[in-house]
Structure 1
């Protein structure tokens, strides 16, 4: 499993992420055992990325001014063989967001796309969403299969149940808690966690992606079960604590995974 390797090697994860979640994302990576850097300046990205284990591109606060940095990060990551995780936040809400995500996917090697069901559906067909909200009635397994095949990359689709596509196979994951939707950045932090779990893996394995999502969701379940864990403020702090304290045995014993294709 990868969890112990992350904690032993403390990989540098470059996060070009949205303004709302930077602090939470950095603290979550530190709790895991990775080393976050929220570098965004075009002139220094190559210097950072050549030492990095992975790059996260999260378009939550996308602007015309931030686009060059994201493209430079993808370019530098490809140059140095560093995996890239794309989080296409609200890409089904506006053409501006969707077109930029498709530009990144077309022009650069993306290792993993992590998004909710509405976001991933919006990348491969016409779909709409209100802000960052996802349609929980969507079939995450079907969307993972379709998006992974069409976009030719590994895909993580989150929803009532999560689905992970890689290497032509899909697994359905049944851990997690609705409390992750009650704090800002629950999905965004998952993108960063996935980045850490695939450090130095441009072509990540299905098992590593499943472990990443399961680790996060098992930690969330533990966070909810603690005192006041159903209150958003306490849950957020509990989640950071659980990300720090659970180990590989906790993940292996509690993960609920089903291979579906």
Structure 2
């Protein structure tokens, strides 16, 4: 899939938070996708007519963003463009949670990608301090519960990442804690997932597993680069590794368990 992605260079519309736009765009360019940080609903129909996927990340959502995001999801559904929702800190405020639930209720979402606390908040109750995740939660259990409620593909990140599609779960043990030490470590993954599922409104477990392992193996290679254990250097090396990584690197290093 990585080779095909690089050949096709899909257009990925990213409605994402202000803090991570540059990092996300550079990460997708390095990977081989074509990012567009378009947000204005008056042009969204035209953009999405040519897009491979849409990312909706609510990290810096304001009241004025709500209509743009809902309109984007509507146009994406009309054009059969897959939508990835990143419900950033949705357990930290009622405003965020209510918006995510409205989006999920009214529109077709292909993938929800978030940490365990974010997904737990969507399916029930979870307290959050900003974007921090509760490390005591089981990503596997949360992924299964979220799938049962929303009936779309779920990607839950943590020390062990869990992906649930059609009730089947893969657990991924790749990655590094340094992803939590740079702004946008999780947000970029949401965009990478969108890149891998371009034109697929019903993504498979295999494709989502490749997306996550490509990113997490790249993060491990970044950590091993010179000064890669320092957050600033790591962030730069991660972009480099997304550019350099090959399918053979992922196959050699991936740690995936089928549940």
TM-score by length of 1: 0.99
Q: Deviations over 1:104-156 (max 9, x none)?
A: 00000000000000000000001110000001121000000110111111000
Q: Which residue of 2 aligns with 1:155?
A: 154
Q: d(CA) in 2 for partners of 1:254 and 1:226? A: 16
Does residue 26 of the first structure (1) align with residue 25 of the second (2)?
yes
Q: Which residue of 1 aligns with 2:254?
A: 255
Q: Which residue of 1 aligns with 2:51?
A: 52
Q: Deviations over 1:185-238 (max 9, x none)?
A: 000000000000000000000000000000000000000001100111100000
Q: d(CA) in 2 for partners of 1:147 and 1:45? A: 29
Does residue 92 of the first structure (1) align with residue 82 of the second (2)?
no
Maintained 8 Å contact 2:151/2:166: no
Q: Which residue of 1 aligns with 2:169?
A: 170
Structure 1 residue 92: Cα displacement = 0.4
Does residue 38 of the first structure (1) align with residue 37 of the second (2)?
yes
Moved over 4 A (4+): none
Q: Which residue of 1 aligns with 2:131?
A: 132
TM-score by length of 2: 0.99
Q: d(CA) in 2 for partners of 1:186 and 1:256? A: 19
Q: d(CA) in 2 for partners of 1:46 and 1:9? A: 21
Instruction: Give the number of equivalent residue pairs.
Output: 259
Q: d(CA) in 2 for partners of 1:20 and 1:226? A: 25
Does residue 234 of the first structure (1) align with residue 233 of the second (2)?
yes
**Secondary structure of the structure 2 residue equivalent to 1:127:** coil
Structure 1: gaps of 5 or more residues: none
